Structure 1
Amino acid sequence: MFDILMYLFENYIHSETEVFVDHDQLTDELIKAGFEVDEIYKALDWLEKLADLQNSDAIPYLTKNSPNSSARIYTEEEVMRLDAQCRGFIMFLEQINVLDTETREMVIDRVMALETPEFMLDDLKWVVLMVLFNVPGHESAYTQMEELVFEEPDGPLH
């Protein structure tokens, strides 16, 4: 399912190509690209639920008065999926204001909805990009995250 999300993001969303509205046409294209039908439906459902999260009422564990500097306590399942490196990266993104409390929770929600046996930091970066791209008003955070993902280091690394 994650491969399909990456394919869609790279070929339609990130490249600013017109996104298909017709699910049948999109499904046919994904089948031709070699993806399985049930995985396609799971990926499309994942994207629909991401869109649903834009409604503030869709995230019941946040309140309008949630402090922006709150500490996040991860559940056992979240710790199993998000290793220390991923959790540290999420905290880093909050500290540099790429993620706020709401978008952090959206990222964690979408990570937990993925059915991948292994989840790594690079996967997390793509999920963050997908979330930020789909949340209006976070264009500068998306641009900053995009720079973090695609930036090539200058000079030799020591």
Structure 2
Amino acid sequence: MFDVLVFVYENYWHGDACPELAHLERKLSAVGFDPEEIQDALTWLDDLTLAASGLRPPTPGDAPVSSTPMSDVLAWTPSPHSMRIYSIAEQNHLGASCLGFISFLESSGALSANQRELVIDRAMAATSDPLPLDDLKIIVLMVFWSLGEKPDALVLDELCEDTSGRIAH
């Protein structure tokens, strides 16, 4: 699924440029992706679009957003002094490296609390258990993509660069 998401991100830089799901499915199939992988990715993308619609300001002519659990979560603005407590299921599924990375993005100001919740929602929908950090980075990129936002250059570097060869000093 994540290979499909990377392909979509690379080929449709702006979420608005992405074709409708049926057309996208045909394109992905023509490129050679596995049908099951395509279906998983399209379902994941459709859910992302639905959840992200609660974060975007409405434009004239938008249809009303249906009440979904994620849109209910995004309907409030948390206090800047609030703290996110992760459930046991979230801790087990995301693991220490993903939770640390989310915390890093949020503390650096790259990820708002509402965006964090969207990232966690989409990460929990991923089937890998525990979720690899590289997959979480793709999820973060897709959240920015779905909101029509471009992450800061340093954050983008952190999300896209292979950091396994870095030496801490």
TM-score, length of structure 1 as denominator length: 0.78
Q: 1:144 to 1:22 in 2, by over 3 A?
A: same
- Corresponding residue for residue 147 of structure 2: 135
Given candidates 156, 160, 167, the residue that maps to 1:146 is 156
For structure 2, list consecutive stretches of 5 or more residues without a partner in the other structure: 56-66
- Corresponding residue for residue 51 of structure 1: 49
Provide the C-alpha distance between the structure 1 equivalents of 2:146 and 2:15, rounded to a whole number of angstroms: 15
Task: Answer whether contact 1:129 1:142 (CA < 8 A) is retained.
Answer: no
Which residue type is aligned with residue 9 of structure 2?
A: F
For structure 1, list consecutive stretches of 5 or more residues without a partner in the other structure: none
Higher relative contact order (CA 8 A, sep 6+): 2
Q: 1:35 to 1:116 in 2, by over 3 A?
A: farther
TM-score, length of structure 2 as denominator length: 0.74
Q: 1:128 to 1:27 in 2, by over 3 A?
A: same
Provide the C-alpha distance between the structure 2 equivalents of 1:135 and 1:17, rounded to a whole number of angstroms: 8
Provide the C-alpha distance between the structure 1 equivalents of 2:15 and 2:3, rounded to a whole number of angstroms: 19
Query: Percent identity at matched positions?
Result: 34
Provide the C-alpha distance between the structure 2 equivalents of 1:101 and 1:17, rounded to a whole number of angstroms: 21
Provide the C-alpha distance between the structure 2 equivalents of 1:18 and 1:100, rounded to a whole number of angstroms: 22
Provide the C-alpha distance between the structure 2 equivalents of 1:17 and 1:53, rounded to a whole number of angstroms: 14
- Corresponding residue for residue 92 of structure 1: 104
Count of residues in correspondence between the two structures = 152
Given candidates 23, 27, 38, the residue that maps to 1:40 is 38
- Corresponding residue for residue 119 of structure 1: 131
